[in-house]
Structure 1
Amino acid sequence: MIGKTLDERYVIRSRIARGGMAMVYLANDLRLERRVAVKVMHEHLAEDENFTRRFEQEARSAARLAHPNLVNIFDQGHDAGRTYLVMEYLPSITLRDLLKKQKRLTIDQALEIGEAVLAGLAAAHRAGIVHRDLKPENVMLADDGRIKLGDFGLARAVSANTTTGQALLGTIAYLSPELVTRGIADARSDLYAFGIMMYEMFTGAQPFTGEQPMQIAYQHAHSEVPVPSLVSSEATPELDELVRWTTQREPDQRPRDAGEALEFLSALRNGSAVPGSTRVLDLQDQQTSMLTPSTTVLGNEQRDLLAAGSTSDGEDTGSQNDAPVSAIERAADSAKRRGARGKVITAVLVLLVVVAGGTGWWFGQGPGSRVTVPNVAGLDMETANASLTERTLIVDVVDCSSLEIPEGFASVTEPKAGTRLDRGSSVQLCRSTGPELKPVPTIVGISLEEAKRTIKDAGFVFGEVIEERFSEEAAQTVLAALNTDGEPLEDTYPEQARIDLVVSAGPLPDVNGMTVSEATSKLAALKLTVDTSLISESYSTDIAEGKVLALTLHTDPVRPGDSVGLQVSLGPELFEIPDVAGMGLQQAMDTLTAAGFAPSTLVPDALRGLATATGTDPAVGQRVAAGTEIRVKSTLSL
């Protein structure tokens, strides 16, 4: 597909990923001049109406959705027997990639990603669309910080939620119990998969594992999902609550849709009171906003484990709180409490005076008179300048290159963030000029392996070989070095930027003089196909009949996988010997010469005027090659 154009609009540049139903490519939209991702259904599936219908269903489902946390769908079509889908191109990694790298995420990372996923799901659920294949592989973490949910290949309308008679769809590790047992999915099934995904982010592992898919499916159908705090020391009761609420085996005990779960998670992340109505709680438990083991949907054993860590010391509190048995004892006890309360109040007042005096000294003459340099990386220059100025620091703006911070934004300070300075000190604030422009070394003309080393040593990143083409250069020689827009590199290029290469596949083979079969085999070894419609024939005095005269090309350049033609020899062209009988000998020889032959005679030159041609050898009417010697027979007229 690379190098092809779909519907005269989308030029395929390189492959991004491969899935079970389709291949995803990076392409250029010629009409709108932008980069897009094109998902092309596998050719062997295109003939299956069910797969084609499901593929087109993805386009219709996802195109109805417009949300910052969902991958946008631009177009869908069918060209050259291939069904394709055009989507927003998002340079990113997946949540699965991040989990492989970090093993488990921090609580802040997990909550941020979870909130974005729920926001996208909520938009889908409001539109009546169920995703049905929620998993870390379908959560995109863009380079610019955006979090998007994609791949609605299994999505369908909520009203059409039964899959009776069909194979279960979706990844087995994230299938809800109702999908396993009854083949039914709705918005609550997405939330079950979300809960499994949150558990995996908190703990670094999936809750159910097994050697066979059916073992995992059985656990989903018959076992409760454990709480993260049994594995992760960072998990809180509130996070346990979120996971267990979304992974209840009975759909009715889960949130109604992603919007309800989003309300819970947003409140949890913002530190506000979690709405009691969004939890699976008994009525009496909803009278308090505190999340304790007794107010969650945890099992008894898990409640006990959580409660064990928060129980106060001392088991004889009941005896300490026993009331005096007589009025005199009660009066004495009351007086004792009043005296103790007076001492406490006095101590508090003394402490407040000390704290007030200490605070005045701290901020007046002590260490508190110094300020901490704030972290302004990524802020716009006006905000960064104001943040430093309000701490009574003097700001000096300079330009600095930065790989991470976009051009025009604040990058770093000198002294660095976190440094304590006297008020009125000078701080150098760097305004990012973007990545440093570095000189581009000579890459064209060297071998691929040498080019990779040269690119790395020069401070750039090797991307991929986006094209091989036949040329006069040796195989694996670099023919072109391109930037991320597919254009040749200029003299300078941003540091750590990606460089893609075009390399030589070597010279085209010499097949002259071979049989068609031999030439076809030799070309096939180089991944070139002989197109029989491009085979032609021509006369040749040098190449025997049936042998290859030349290779004929109809593409420029020629790439592995292209089709070529062959020019096959017919042997030398044959001409008929004319009848010269009855002509004077010299006239006969001149006639044969004009016909392209080499005439000869035994008659001396002096007697040729007296001789008459009687025939030739070879005989009249035979067909021979041009230049063939023809002996003229003759008689003398005396």
Structure 2
Amino acid sequence: MKLGGSLARRRRSRRDKSRGPIAEASNGRRGQRGYSRLWFSVLMLALVGWFGGYLITTQFIFPTPPPPGDLFEVPDIRGGGLATARERLMGAGLILGEIDSLLHPSVPEALIIGQSPLPGQVLRPESQVRVTVSLGPQLRSVPDVLGLTEDRAQVVLASSGFLVSKDTVEADLPRGNVLEVFPPPDTVIPLPAEILMIVSTGPALVAMPLVLGLDREEALILLDSLGLMVSEIEEVFRFGRDQGVVVEQEPASEMELERGTEVRLKVGMSGGVVE
């Protein structure tokens, strides 16, 4: 065995042992630098992708609208006709758009009652303004309810869209029947409207007078003046002063009667009963 070769091997072994930690540290540093470069590359790619997507979206998919030119204020065109509205809109750099219509209880026909956009807002040139035009009030003919009962007439008028008020008056019609309506039947009027209904309270009532002791003719004249009808006069036997005068009456005095009510009388006569 050579002494020189053994010494050389020992020196190489010592050099290799001393180099081991240094080499490992160097390799670790190289690995960290590799990871840093990788993350930096990924971050740069993400930024480039985001920026590219933003450009594509804003420039091609959803491009920013061009800056507006002159803006015109919407005038108030309510209360006028379509011709006037068209002229005013043209003067303001706008045009008349869609036209709607509806019934209105108080605004006359053909007048503008609404617009969109509202006055004071601003629009681009040649923008449209939508309007709503009144067709005027709804017209309805007054139904004929004369002679109907109050309740039935009320239903007919209300179902036709009218408001109903009532007054009463004495009349020959039965109590509760309709005598008149104002405006008269078949009159065409705008809704909403009120109809005045005149309802009968029946014939006027009169108090049955006391005719006992009156001569026959006097009793007949009095009853006739009150509108009461004498339907029967029966002659009965009486003595003395009861002859020729009314001795019985039906109905009794002070009863409230309708005009035309029938009255029966008995008149005293001498010599027995005469048919």
Using CA pairs under 8 Å that are at least 6 residues apart, name the structure with larger relative contact order, 1 or 2: 2
Fold match by TM threshold 0.5: no
> If you compute each CA radius of gyration, which structure gives the higher value, 1 or 2?
2
**TM-score between the two structures when normalised by the length of structure 2:** 0.44
**TM-score between the two structures when normalised by the length of structure 1:** 0.22
Higher strand share: 2
